[in-house]
Chain A
């Protein structure tokens, strides 16, 4: 299937999120051959899991659609989903890369008719919704998935359920015998745009994530607010599926903290501010408290902070919450900390708590990889002494979408320079 022929004049982009897509397109539109490799069954990465962007409160799919259209009509970009880089060897201008493609068990004949999902009875935790709901084991990753093609979870392949899917498909699109494949690429430069993972909030044991149902993270809140999310766009307490009357946002949860992530992830303040608008849209009388150390709304994003400050039902309380416990009867959370402004002890009760957790970069971790530099936090460092592989987006520094796109555009040029130097 992947008879990819590339020369060392080609660029490899690892990661098909906003940064990867941008790097690939910008280089391709300048006339260069690009191969884009994405681990998920769809392109778009983490931005597809956002409901809206700050500060415009616009849908991520709008920009993604334009990018997919650019991709559709540009023969110079070839992208592969279900694909991961297995090894990289060589040097600037002459890399040998091996890519492994995991089987999707669904081939190009898929028309997204949905019959396999109808027939399948097995369910899995929905990865797109951070496990907040279940989805059939034969599924479309999300409604705007690009490429638009179903996928079978490996757990049902070779089982009765797998056979049900096979039988239900009229187009011969189900292929339970699909195997992992490997192909080799020769490229001149690599852009590493592998993105990030949310920090594991369970590690912040004094916040009770994982233990207390109604403590969720910012990325989970984002899914809840999305109409294509686990609750159809309604913000509900996980324990009893009721609308919370009040919500606490805890900023810097596990960030700016030498016991967790010492750095600041840059966008969590704005993300929480944005999420207050989600709440306000759905429940005009919900009380919101934001517990913060500093509110980081840089440059003209300050306007967005001013806008949310005008919301009378959002209280900004300068405090680092020290402890969260649960009121078992109600499922409510009890927050304890010091109000740094008044010096008083805080003891407040909330229906739901959102932990604004940070980003952990996906560093290059391959058995065989050339020398690259990561800082002590795992962020990729573009080292002038190690040209040829360039980090772009949140692998390099935690940041917002506009900056990731800017960074990826820069990454595309650096990759082109590596090829032009040959």
Chain B
């Protein structure tokens, strides 16, 4: 489509008081072939909007540059439909509210902002959403047929979607099927597990297809286009799938490692899982001689909250022991249960069940077991009783139950090793290196993803493939693949059910968005996607390795094979590519390069330095807005260029900037490291790493490394921004002007 561009400058909110608007109109748009240039005192008002609409309808304007307030406000006002490109230029928060009025430097800043906006608008193309050739599937694959898996499938079916369950055992049910009872809302008494009814519902539901004695052999493709090979009972099947929920559950912590608590030494020391299975089978009896059970001691946190075993808490074991104490008393009302605990963790309304367990006469002892032994065919336990402040000995015990924790099915016994890349440190004598827990090669097999970055979901901590984000708990590092239930975090049945319903929601949403050509979180609704100009590709593999979501596969020659439906549109690949072959319709290396080139660089004798700041639009840019809203002041010599993610930064921008005489480059982005905030996981970290490589460029240009700096700026760090800028400008003054000015 031919561009007909119009520029509208709002002079309200103080913008008109601070700038020479006529000069801005002329110099800010020169050389861009702008057909229409207007200003208005109140552009977001009805009259202002009508003015723009008239030009769209009457003059055929299809690209509109709005030089006014931040893009974060009036977004609905300045929306003229899909066929009109809208480019926002910030003259308010970044100019009128934060700079000195009527100063030459302020004018130059405004002009540069407008020029960058015009340049960006010129390079923006209309978006064509990605549409695969094959038909999209909206079916959901659920791996794991336990409580979470069955629930996810049923809930998807209830919403009208077809689900496929792959269960490795010969029947559905998972651990739920092996429990006697459960404890759930309202936590007043034991509840039926409901396993049989749930299984029946699943089997009766026409929208659900169940494979038992089955496993996933391979998953290839991407959201909407997954091709899943399943092997069941010796037969093979292939399903076309839209999104995946992995609900492969957990295994109990290996109690053989708890010899110090008597497991393996004394037959009557069992785990909570063994206790549950015994109860479900009919009767709880002493394993050693089948005798009746009168006195039972439960040791809580057996191998949990223990750096030597499982450092984390499995959250359910307190309630499980109380539940099992109830079994014991149901069998024999004269029975005495002792529960030896560190902390009792019955949160929410489940506190009622704790109250009941106490009222039932169960003895709760806060302390740690120090010794376990046998005397006269019965067990005894010595413990440090915290509340009595003395050592106690509980004798005559028929059974000791170790409340062990949950280990997710994804967690490998030993850390896997893979062939070390050429330059990797820490390789052993076979050239193998330990795989990091957040790698796709770490977790136990379940999905067999045919992804270049590994066959399984990256894990977060302790082997759980969970999201690192508190606000977005379902966002794993693989698009269209969600986790649910105890695989994700140890949780009780009530929570696992809700978790599965939520995972089904995310899976359904993903299939719908993908079929419409839209991205999912965090750039939900984005219809652009990266396009690769393969002619210039040198097979360096940086894009395939650095993509935080494993969206790009590789052929044998190292050519990237993009999978647009796996893509989150962050642009990390675009930033990584040294040949600059990757671009989006409205975001490309050339576009940003041109924006930077449109900035006017004054001659050295004018003593007006220029700094480009690449600023992440997720957190740092809102922080900058806020600094402007607070009327904070900062240097007029800095030009802000918004990025989808700092990970999309291409080093050529830095080289180009420096060779044009730009004095310094700042990067404002999210926190990286263990407690990363970066919404694209690795983006901020990659930008920082790439900066390290910039020193080569700087050396080549004989420039100081002080000219380039990364600063972590979170959304609430707005008050730090003026100080950071001031400090950087001081440093730039110290190192002196870039000698390449005027070249």
Contacts and interface: CB of A to CB of B under 8 A. Distances in A.
A226 B496 CA distance: 34
Contacts of B461: 300, 303
Contacts of A397: 185, 348-349
Contacts of B73: 148
Nearest to B489: A299
Contact of B505 (A61, A64, A403, A409): A409
Contacts of B315: 298-299
B425 to A, nearest CB: 27
B638 interface: no
A344 to B, nearest CB: 10
B192 interface: no
A296 B347 contact: yes
B502 A409 contact: yes
A402 interface: yes
B512 A30 contact: yes
B226 interface: no
Interface residues of A, number: 77
Residue among B13, B159, B470 facing the most chain A CB atoms (10 A cut-off): B470
Nearest to B304: A302
A302 B716 contact: no
A66 B471 contact: yes
A171 B505 contact: no
A62 B498 contact: no
B349 A379 contact: yes
A302 B305 contact: yes
Given A59-B715, A73-B75, A405 B473 contact: yes
A294 B318 CA distance: 12
Contacts of B622: 61, 65
Residue among B155, B505, B508, B521 facing the most chain A CB atoms (10 A cut-off): B505
A72 B629 contact: no
B679 A66 contact: yes
Interface in A289-304: 294-303
A298 B351 contact: no
A113 interface: yes
Contacts of A62: 471, 618-619, 677, 714-715
Contact of B348 (A26, A53, A266, A301): A266
A64 B715 CA distance: 10
A29 B515 CA distance: 12
Nearest to A268: B347
A90 interface: no
B373 interface: no
Interface string A265-281: 11000000000000000
Given A70-B524, A263-B349, A264-B346, A410 B502 contact: yes
Contacts of B719: 227
B313 A302 contact: yes
Contacts of A256: 351
Given A63-B469, A401-B470, A413 B312 contact: no
B490 interface: yes
Interface string A410-422: 1011101100110
Chain B interface main SS type: loop
Contacts of B313: 297-302
A399 interface: yes
Contacts of B346: 264
Given A144-B626, A341-B389, A67 B311 contact: no
Given A256-B351, A300-B312, A300-B462, A410 B498 contact: yes
Nearest to B504: A413
B736 interface: no
Residue among B186, B313, B346, B504 facing the most chain A CB atoms (10 A cut-off): B313
Nearest to B714: A59
Residue among A58, A414, A420 facing the most chain B CB atoms (10 A cut-off): A58
Contacts of B4: none
A420 B160 contact: yes
B630 interface: yes
B14 interface: yes
Nearest to A111: B13
Given A72-B75, A343-B389, A302 B348 contact: no
Nearest to A144: B626
Q: List the 7 shortest-distance A-B pairs measured between CB atoms, nearest first.
A: A63-B471, A409-B502, A410-B501, A413-B505, A266-B347, A294-B343, A30-B509
27 contacts: A29-B513, A56-B675, A58-B671, A59-B716, A62-B715, A65-B622, A66-B522, A73-B75, A73-B525, A112-B629, A263-B349, A263-B352, A264-B347, A298-B313, A300-B312, A300-B464, A300-B489, A341-B386, A397-B185, A401-B471, A406-B474, A409-B474, A409-B505, A410-B505, A413-B501, A413-B502, A413-B504
Interface of A: 18, 25-26, 29-31, 53, 56-59, 61-67, 69-70, 72-74, 109, 111-113, 143-144, 148, 171, 227, 256, 262-266, 294-303, 306, 318, 340-343, 375, 377, 379, 381, 397-403, 405-407, 409-410, 412-414, 416-417, 420-421
Given A263-B348, A401-B471, 20 more contacts: A26-B509, A56-B470, A58-B677, A63-B471, A66-B618, A72-B76, A171-B12, A266-B347, A296-B347, A298-B315, A299-B315, A301-B313, A302-B312, A379-B349, A405-B471, A409-B505, A410-B502, A413-B505, A417-B155, A417-B158
